[in-house]
């Protein structure tokens, strides 16, 4: 007599290669680990399935996340790219638990200033935001949210497409500057140095 084992050992969706890992689990893991937008073509190559199959799996996952009010959401971006994100409304509630992974208030404020005033010189940013702006610029470049182009003795700072994608903003910088006014008001609390956005 055979001993009873766990039920439903066989995955209900296609598996990856010769493993028992469902392809959907592999794709979910890839989006989580990348922490940036991934192209459908790259995901299809990774999983060894077609692009339409990848799209279908990601749409199913996205629907499941919405149905169970998951902490995460899968967002489709332009150019056939997808990204796994923490729901924006959770970020301020969880910031203290993951201070290195999320943007703190001061850093977020500097990022908002750059986004609204871009292109802005680092010298001007430091004058407006204080000497901590040097450190902020390094951190934001490390997260690939901004670029710094040499301009004389300083740098010109601008946001990247990843910044727009990550925060669900337009890649068109004219539109983005309008969106950022609303965004900053919702995301940032006042601190010692007021942020005069409408000057």
Residue 9: Cβ-neighbour burial (10 angstroms; 0-12, 13-18, 19+) = exposed
**pLDDT recorded at residue 55:** 93
146 Rama class: left (phi>0) / alpha (psi -120 to 50) / beta: beta
CA–CA dist 60, 57 (Å, integer): 5
Report the Cα 137 to chain-centroid distance in Å.
Answer: 18
Q: Are residues 124 and 58 in the same domain?
A: no
Question: What are the distances in angstroms from CA 75 to CA 7, 69, 71, 100?
Answer: 33, 15, 13, 23
Q: Are residues 81 and 101 in the same domain?
A: no
**pLDDT recorded at residue 178:** 80
**pLDDT recorded at residue 5:** 44
**pLDDT recorded at residue 164:** 82
Task: Flag whether 195 is in a domain.
Answer: no
Q: Are residues 71 and 108 in the same domain?
A: no
- Domain boundary pick from 34, 67, 86: 86
Total number of domains in the chain: 2
**pLDDT recorded at residue 180:** 78
Contact 140, 114 (CB under 8 A): yes
Residues in the chain: 199
**pLDDT recorded at residue 32:** 86
Q: Which residues contact 123 (CB under 8 A, 6 or more apart)?
A: 153, 154
List the alpha helices (DSSP H) in the chain: 23-34, 40-47, 51-67, 91-94, 105-117, 122-129, 132-142, 161-166, 173-187
Task: Flag whether 5 is in a domain.
Answer: no
From first to last of its 199 residues, the chain has per-residue pLDDT tens of: 444 444 443 445 677 766 778 888 999 999 888 877 889 999 999 999 999 999 999 999 999 988 888 888 888 887 788 888 877 666 656 555 554 555 667 788 888 889 888 999 999 999 988 888 999 999 899 888 899 999 989 999 999 988 887 777 778 888 888 877 776 666 555 443 444 443 3
- The boundaries of the domain holding residue 30 are 23-86
Helices 105-117 and 132-142, packing angle to 10 deg: 80
């Amino acid at each position: 007599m055979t001993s009873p084992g766990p039920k439903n050992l066989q995955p209900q969706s296609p598996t990856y290669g010769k493993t028992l890992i469902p392809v959907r689990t592999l794709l979910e893991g890839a989006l989580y680990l990348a922490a940036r937008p991934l192209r459908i073509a790259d995901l299809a190559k990774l999983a060894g399935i077609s692009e339409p199959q990848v799209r279908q799996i990601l749409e199913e996952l996205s629907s499941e996340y919405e149905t169970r009010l998951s902490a995460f959401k899968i967002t489709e971006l332009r150019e056939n790219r997808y990204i796994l994100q923490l729901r924006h409304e959770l970020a301020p509630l969880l910031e203290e638990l993951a201070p290195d992974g999320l943007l703190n208030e001061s850093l977020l404020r500097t990022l908002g200033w750059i986004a609204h005033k871009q292109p802005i010189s680092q010298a001007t940013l430091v004058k407006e935001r204080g000497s901590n702006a040097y450190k902020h610029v390094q951190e934001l470049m490390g997260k690939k949210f901004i670029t710094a182009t040499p301009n004389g003795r300083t740098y010109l700072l601008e946001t990247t497409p990843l910044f727009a994608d990550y925060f669900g903003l337009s890649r068109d910088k004219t539109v983005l500057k309008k969106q950022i006014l609303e965004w900053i008001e919702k995301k940032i609390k006042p601190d010692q140095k007021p942020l005069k956005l409408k000057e």
